[in-house]
Structure 1
């Protein structure tokens, strides 16, 4: 029986991915900064553990409690929507600590175990902004772009040891709590000089032509975790697929 550890499982993509893997017979270790027992079913194949990917001691304690795993899904992330000019550097660093350095720290901690067993997979969740950077998300885009390059390089390093690295590129999902953990309000990051520019962008957010569901992302993670073809990128959702096709062209 395979075991997957998923970061950021209290809501959104992570929560749906935990359910998806559990429903398909895997043992699931769902991690959260603040564990919530009410969001997932009681099951002998499902454990909830505390984890803050920005804290080395939290990572070490979580992996010690988790035991051997076959797959790591680096899903935890935060975002800020707003003009880059108005985004404090403290918030930008916070985004990178979770979205970039947190992913790298988790990956570095897990690699020795997977390498020793010469098997396993690391799945990193980025975003379709890496395919088509969007305005008002410069810092977020940069943090996810870094993971794209990181994972591509990592895939080459780990292949020699039978370990796979994969990328999930979700499209726009209105139901996700994109900025919930950022600690900053969107309205504080739109100066008067940007209001005219931002208005049609927020209008498009409110009525998107295509959307990505949490189920789309969970299925893409499932496919990536079980893929043996060598495919690196897995766009998730119809909008992300369309962007990936245009990107490839």
Structure 2
């Protein structure tokens, strides 16, 4: 994608990867609008980045999405980039009883949220000379983390949806790119300085550089072997990955 002269809406833009992406695009002179549920955090980010704007909405709620989309189209008619970044990552136990309320919230936020928001904005995006939809999935879309089974499934679902959406938009002005982060040291899990987690600034630097190209999937080099996972050796890789994390657990 072209990294400048855009009007960009980023969901989950108040912390972690979402905020870092918003600030990186903002520093390049783009018009950036962040979306999130908590007005105090939205105000904190926009105050720290003069010229950035925000919309308060809940990506897990269809009515809120539709209202936000209508506001965005009316207020920012030049919108040409949507970054579906918002996500939640509760831990669970697929060997026991799964909390239905929590699972529904994960799927509403991580999977249905991007689908619904893309649907609400796609006709507007198709009217632009050039437009991009960016889905933030996860390396766990390729190699599930067993202790976040529902989260991993939600990201695998979004990866699948992105591929279908990309194909269906192939003859339009809209391109679909996917970011699939590794474990990045943010508060999505627990910001801890764990050496296994990629520093946020390093992740953003590499990701922004790769977004400037035409790659359909924008993945940092460290996860390329895991992206190559599907195939006859998939089960052994997934089992080995999870056994290593059982031996040295992720901070919770």
TM-score range, shorter chain: 0.7 to 0.9
| Partner residue of 1:59 out of 62, 65, 75 | 65
Unaligned runs of 5+ in 2: 234-252
Q: How does 1:1-249 map onto structure 2 within 5 Å?
A: 1-35=5-39, 36=41, 37-40=43-46, 41-44=48-51, 46-66=52-72, 67-68=76-77, 69-84=79-94, 85-178=96-189, 210-219=196-205, 222-223=208-209, 225-227=211-213, 229=214, 231-236=215-220, 239-244=222-227
Deviating above 6 A after TM superposition, structure 1's stretches of 4 or more consecutive aligned residues are none
The DSSP-based 3-state class of the residue aligned with 2:45 is coil
* 1:185 aligned partner: none
Asked if the contact 1:124/1:167 (under 8 Å) is kept, the reply is yes
Return the TM-score normalized by structure 2: 0.78
CA shift digits 1:150-207 (9 cap, x unpaired): 000110111201210111110012322338xxxxxxxxxxxxxxxxxxxxxxxxx989
Residues 72 and 216 from structure 1, CA distance in 2 versus in 1: closer, same or farther, beyond 3 angstroms? farther
In structure 2, what is the Cα distance between the partners aligned to 1:28 and 1:224? 19
Q: Which has the higher contact order (CA 8 A, sep 6+)?
A: 1
Q: How many residues align?
A: 220
In structure 1, what is the Cα distance between the partners aligned to 2:186 and 2:60? 25
In structure 1, what is the Cα distance between the partners aligned to 2:109 and 2:88? 7
* 2:247 aligned partner: none
Unaligned runs of 5+ in 1: 180-204
* 2:240 aligned partner: none
Cα shift at 1:148: 0.6
Root-mean-square deviation (CA, aligned residues, Å) is 2.5
Cα shift at 1:19: 0.6
The DSSP-based 3-state class of the residue aligned with 1:113 is helix
Return the TM-score normalized by structure 1: 0.79
In structure 2, what is the Cα distance between the partners aligned to 1:123 and 1:240? 18
Asked if the contact 1:7/1:51 (under 8 Å) is kept, the reply is no
